[in-house]
A and B are shown apart, each in its own frame.
Chain A
Amino acid sequence: MFDFLEPLFFALFALGIIGAGAAVVLLRRITAQALLMAFTFACMAGMFLLLGAETIALFQVLIYVGAITILILFGVMFTKQEERAYGLFFQKQAPLATGLAVIVALPVVILAFSFKDPATPSARGSDLIPLATSLFTDYAFPFEVASVLLLAALVGAIVLVKRDEQ
């Protein structure tokens, strides 16, 4: 009876991701761009929910909407406030950027369409334990490397912003 819901939500989320993503690139209002990016991330989380990966969806919202967007907005707030709509006048890389985007997107699209078996949505929240197990057994080394990288970034950030104490 409710079978139509899943394709419907997929269509809504897909529309949200592509539409908001395009708007982020094309719009000239930086606050709107930041908020639309948060919206894109939220739609991505919705996609994860449709795939039955609740944990990843929640982490997506927690990290991207709740933290990264805020940091971007934090930076935006230090920009000029009087003329809110502005762009870069000397930006002439549009053709080059399009070419590069196509080169990157092509393998991704080919890879996406080469999948034959659709992922089977699992039961509610059951991705938590497989996720944790694979993170701490099979992928323990990349996980640790990533955390060391983040630690280095954190230390670097502190060193950069630390003022000289005479």
Chain B
Amino acid sequence: MPIGPFGIDPTIWAVLRLVIAVALTVFLVLNGALVQIFLERKIQAVMQDRVGPYHTGPFGLLQTFADAIKLLGKEDIRAKLTDAPFFLAAPAIVFSPMLASFVVLPFGPDFTGVNLNVGLLYLTTLGSMTVLGIVIAGWASNNKYSLMGGLRSAGQLISYEVPGILGLVTVVLYVGSLSMVDITNAQPGPLVNAFILPFAFLTYFIAALAETNRNPFDLPEAESELVAGFLTEYSGMRWGVFFLAEYGEVTVVSAIMATLWFGGWHGPGVDAVPLLGVIWFTLKTYFFVLLFMWIRATLPRLRIDQLMGFCWKVLIPLALVNILLTAVLILAFPDPRLPIAVANWALVGLLVVGLPFTQRRRLLRFRTRTRESVGTRDARLAR
């Protein structure tokens, strides 16, 4: 009889490994969300000159656990006129793709669920499925605000998928693989992809903010406009599942950014102690999670037309130019690192310098129009 790892029969080990992996992922996702909610509250509190949660446990650490227990203990309420099967299915449709994404994340050397050859494509595919759940939630709630939230999210998420994928494609072109492990292995040194492909990173970062419904792109659930958007009719743990999914999504996109542009598990001492890679990977991922929170505490929400205009008129054309440049430079030079880096940084400069410039022109146009309309009004009043 063949002996697998830990002296267990391989057929049993195959099943056992699956069970362990799923249990570990659920554990990671649930507790990660709790930790992130705690961090989010504390960071926002610090930024807004408050104390934040402090009463339950040391430094308020147990507050989110208490909240989770409260959510679980809440009565399961469903309004009478909601569309029952869809209303109940929507949280699951949002949650399960996020959970499945963790399969291909490269946590460390030999610490990946599956080294899928098309891992990045798998992640984008699962990311695109979340929209379905949000749209269904908005529709099934039978509520104006929910429907508006669902419509907004459909428009926003589909639009921002395009620059996100274009940003990923640039990295795939450069590295030459769709596997998350290969992409990690391609950047062992301090010269990570972020230095060579900063513009691709910028496009993906902005698109990721929009894909996860985070500020300044949280229009589907904008409190001041839509009550709570697609979440309006949800309460208790169904509402909680939506939030778990959101924090899980944030973790997944942060992990993608850490892997694709910042070397994944690579860091000092990983070659000697492979398990250290998991710590590096987690630190890099949580850096982006914290960056998302920082942005949330800093920036105001965009208007829907600004959101769409920025995506279709600025991000997508520049991302397409970026892909074209990268592809041509890879073919033209045997060692294309320097030319690609120059082109990418030039595009970043173009975006950073050009954006205030166009915004100023737009503002001036707006002001003259206002002045004209005020002038005609005054003339009318004088008559």
> Which residues of A line the B interface, CB within 8 A?
1-2, 31-32, 35, 38, 54-55, 58-59, 61-62, 65-67, 69-71, 73-74, 76-77, 81, 84, 124-126, 128
- Extra pairs beyond A35-B86, A128-B117 (17, CB < 8 Å): A32-B86, A55-B118, A59-B125, A62-B125, A65-B129, A66-B129, A67-B158, A70-B135, A71-B154, A71-B158, A73-B136, A74-B151, A76-B139, A77-B138, A77-B139, A81-B147, A124-B116
Q: Which residues of B contact A65 (CB under 8 A)?
A: 128-129, 132
Q: Which residues of B contact A59 (CB under 8 A)?
A: 121, 125
Q: Which residues of B contact A1 (CB under 8 A)?
A: 11
A58 touches B122 (CB 8 A): yes
A31 touches B121 (CB 8 A): no
Q: B15: nearest residue on chain A (CB-CB)?
A: A2
A149 to B85 CA separation, bound complex (whole angstroms) = 39
A73 touches B139 (CB 8 A): yes
A54 touches B117 (CB 8 A): yes
A31 touches B83 (CB 8 A): yes
Partner of B132, one of A38, A58, A77, A125: A38
Q: B120: nearest residue on chain A (CB-CB)?
A: A58
Q: Which residues of A contact B85 (CB under 8 A)?
A: 32
A73 to B137 CA separation, bound complex (whole angstroms) = 12
Q: How many A-B residue pairs have CB under 8 A?
A: 83
CB of B131 closer than 8 Å to a CB of A: yes
Partner of B154, one of A58, A70, A84, A124: A70
Q: Which residues of B contact A69 (CB under 8 A)?
A: 132
A37 to B136 CA separation, bound complex (whole angstroms) = 14
Q: A81: nearest residue on chain B (CB-CB)?
A: B142
Q: B148: nearest residue on chain A (CB-CB)?
A: A77
Q: Which residues of A contact B147 (CB under 8 A)?
A: 77, 81
A38 to B129 CA separation, bound complex (whole angstroms) = 10
B118 touches A54 (CB 8 A): yes
Q: Mark B127-159, 1 if CB is under 8 A from A, else 0.
A: 011011001101110100001001100110110
A74 to B138 CA separation, bound complex (whole angstroms) = 11
B116 touches A77 (CB 8 A): no
Q: Which residues of B contact A84 (CB under 8 A)?
A: 83
CB of B178 closer than 8 Å to a CB of A: yes
Partner of B117, one of A2, A35, A67, A124: A124
A77 to B148 CA separation, bound complex (whole angstroms) = 9
Q: Which residues of A contact B161 (CB under 8 A)?
A: 66-67
A32 to B89 CA separation, bound complex (whole angstroms) = 12
B118 touches A58 (CB 8 A): yes
CB of B124 closer than 8 Å to a CB of A: yes
The count of chain B contact residues (Cβ–Cβ below 8 Å) is 31
A20 to B367 CA separation, bound complex (whole angstroms) = 56
Q: A29: nearest residue on chain B (CB-CB)?
A: B83
Q: Which residues of B contact A31 (CB under 8 A)?
A: 83, 86, 136, 139-140
Q: Which residues of A contact B157 (CB under 8 A)?
A: 70
B178 touches A128 (CB 8 A): yes
Q: Which residues of B contact A124 (CB under 8 A)?
A: 116-117
Q: Which residues of A contact B138 (CB under 8 A)?
A: 77
B83 touches A77 (CB 8 A): no
Q: Which residues of A contact B86 (CB under 8 A)?
A: 31-32, 35
Q: B154: nearest residue on chain A (CB-CB)?
A: A74
B154 touches A61 (CB 8 A): no
Q: A62: nearest residue on chain B (CB-CB)?
A: B125
Minimum CB–CB distance from B348 to chain A (whole Å) comes to 27
A58 touches B151 (CB 8 A): no
Minimum CB–CB distance from A20 to chain B (whole Å) comes to 14
B117 touches A62 (CB 8 A): no
Known contacts A38-B132, A67-B128, A70-B131: A62-B121 contact under CB 8 Å: yes
Minimum CB–CB distance from B157 to chain A (whole Å) comes to 8
A59 to B128 CA separation, bound complex (whole angstroms) = 11
Q: Which residues of A contact B179 (CB under 8 A)?
A: 125
Q: Which residues of B contact A126 (CB under 8 A)?
A: 117
Identify 9 residue pairs between A and B in the complex whose beta-carbon atoms are under 8 Å apart, listed by A's number. A1-B11, A2-B11, A32-B86, A54-B118, A58-B121, A59-B121, A71-B158, A84-B83, A125-B178
A124 to B158 CA separation, bound complex (whole angstroms) = 29
A77 to B125 CA separation, bound complex (whole angstroms) = 24
Q: Which residues of B contact A81 (CB under 8 A)?
A: 142, 147
Known contacts A31-B83, A70-B154, A124-B116: A55-B121 contact under CB 8 Å: yes
Q: B11: nearest residue on chain A (CB-CB)?
A: A1
Minimum CB–CB distance from B327 to chain A (whole Å) comes to 12
Partner of A58, one of B125, B131, B140, B142: B125
Partner of A73, one of B135, B142, B178: B135
Q: A66: nearest residue on chain B (CB-CB)?
A: B128
A139 to B147 CA separation, bound complex (whole angstroms) = 43
Of the listed residues B83, B129, B138, B179, the one surrounded by the most CB atoms of chain A closer than 10 A to its CB is B129
State the 5 A-B residue pairs at the shortest beta-carbon distance, nearest first: A125-B117, A66-B128, A62-B125, A58-B125, A58-B121
A62 touches B128 (CB 8 A): yes
Known contacts A35-B136, A77-B150: A70-B117 contact under CB 8 Å: no
